[in-house]
Structure formats: C-alpha cells, structure tokens
C-alpha cells in the first residue's frame, strides 16, 4: 500500500534526500514503506548525474549534487515536487516503464486541470505547446536502488520562471520552460495535488 504525504512548508533538499534514503532502506528491509511525497523546496538548483559545469550559468541559489538522472534543474516556491518511493521490482516494472509512467501520470493530472500536455520524443519530461514551439512544464529525474525508486518529477504550477535562467534546464538549449499559471490556468497547488491523487497509475 502506498502512503501519501504532503509537506505544508518548504523542505530543505538535504533533509528530503535523507528522508528518501531512509524510506528506501525501509522498503529494502521488507517494511511496507512505499510512499509518494508532495512538497516544495526553497530556491535551489540540483545537478543530476549528467550535469556538466557549463550548464550552470549563475549560481544565485545553492547548488546540490543529486544522485538522480538528468542535468541541472531548479526547485523552489510554486513548483510541486513529487517524490516516489516505489518497489518496481516486485511490481514487475522496468526503469523505462516507470519513467514512462511518470510522464503519463503528469500528463493525466494536467488534463484534469484542463491543460493538454504530451511526451516529446527523445526528451524525457512533460511538455505543452505546439510542434516546434514546445515548452517543458514538468521535469523527471529518478534514481533506482535494487529495484526501489526515489526522486521523481517536478511540475511548475506558479513559480518565478526567471529562476530557470541561471541554468540550462535539463541540458536543453532550444526550448523554454513554462507553468500552469503562464499557460493561463490559475489552479492552486491543492488542485494539482488532487489531480495527482486521482490519476496515480500505481494505486493499490
């Protein structure tokens, strides 16, 4: 059974990483500790395993190395971070299928709020817009330890999009980032949370 948790105040990144590590260890020890954690972080950048120094343009915020896949990304107020600690091994799900499932989940949740979103071939994440003018609204970066996932995805609700200008987001130079608010959908974080709960593909 998956336990849901929502943090009402921003969570420091080291604190979140420590909590995820503990939860993954509990699952590996055989405890029923699968969980989904909805939170926000204070302003910061994280560097995934594919990040290169040239992609950090301005270290205006603290920069944290991260064991997740991907390049640099920003986290901060107005962005819903979704951390998923799931035993994909026992569920018979491959890493590729899990990432594909995260994308589909984000797309389904945004559809509940009236925003059409889609996958973009060759670029992991959640996208909106028209062909040739796509913008990224959701980033995905995961880590897997012995069949247990952690980290997950981040969806931009109403952040200060200028915060992304300090990095090359996800290593992609030719496309921008956007948010629900920038797309004219002023839904609150709580509405997105409800949509995420309704559309989660791994409910027991």
pLDDT, mean of residues 139-158: 97
How, if at all, do strands 135-145 and 176-177 pair?
parallel
Query: What pLDDT score does 97 carry?
Result: 98
Could you say which of 137, 170, 177, 180 is catalytic?
Answer: 170
- Any long-range contacts for 184-191 (C-beta under 8 Å, 24+ apart)? 185/113, 185/114, 185/115, 186/158, 187/113, 187/157, 188/157, 189/40, 189/78, 189/80, 189/157, 191/113
Query: What pLDDT score does 38 carry?
Result: 98
pLDDT, mean of residues 74-101: 97
Residue 204 binned pLDDT confidence (cut-offs 50, 70, 90): low
Residue 107 binned pLDDT confidence (cut-offs 50, 70, 90): very high
Residue 169 binned pLDDT confidence (cut-offs 50, 70, 90): confident
**Superfamily designation of domain 3-199:** Bira Bifunctional Protein; Domain 2 (3.30.930.10)
Query: What pLDDT score does 188 carry?
Result: 85
pLDDT, mean of residues 24-28: 97
What is the Cα–Cα distance from 161 to 133, expressed in whole angstroms?
17
Residue 135 binned pLDDT confidence (cut-offs 50, 70, 90): very high
Examine the residue annotation and report whether 170 is marked as an active-site residue of this protein: yes
177-197 pLDDT, tens digit per residue, is 999 999 999 878 999 999 999
What would the two tokens of residue 25 be? 């260890």
pLDDT at 174 over 80: no
Average pLDDT of the chain is 95
Domain boundaries, the chain: 3-199
Query: What pLDDT score does 131 carry?
Result: 83
pLDDT at 84 over 90: yes
Return the higher-pLDDT residue of 13 and 171. Answer: 13
């Amino acid at each position: 059974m998956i336990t849901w948790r929502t943090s009402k105040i921003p969570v420091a990144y080291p604190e979140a990483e420590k909590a995820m590590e503990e939860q993954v260890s509990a699952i590996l020890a055989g405890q029923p500790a699968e969980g989904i954690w909805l939170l926000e972080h204070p302003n910061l950048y994280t560097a995934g395993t594919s990040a290169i120094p040239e992609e950090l343009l301005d270290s205006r915020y603290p920069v944290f190395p991260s064991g997740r896949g991907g390049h640099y990304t920003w986290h901060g107020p107005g962005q819903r971070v979704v951390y998923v600690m799931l035993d994909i091994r026992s569920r018979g799900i491959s890493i590729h299928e899990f990432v594909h499932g995260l994308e589909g989940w984000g797309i389904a949740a945004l559809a509940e709020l009236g925003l059409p979103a889609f996958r973009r071939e060759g670029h992991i994440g959640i996208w909106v817009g028209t062909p040739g003018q796509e913008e990224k609204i959701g980033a995905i970066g995961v880590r897997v330890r012995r069949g247990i996932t952690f980290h997950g995805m981040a969806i931009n609700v109403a952040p200060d999009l200028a915060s992304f200008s300090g990095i090359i987001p996800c290593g992609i130079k030719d496309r921008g980032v956007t948010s629900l608010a920038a797309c004219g959908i002023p839904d609150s974080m709580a509405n997105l949370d409800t949509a995420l709960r309704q559309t989660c593909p791994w409910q027991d």
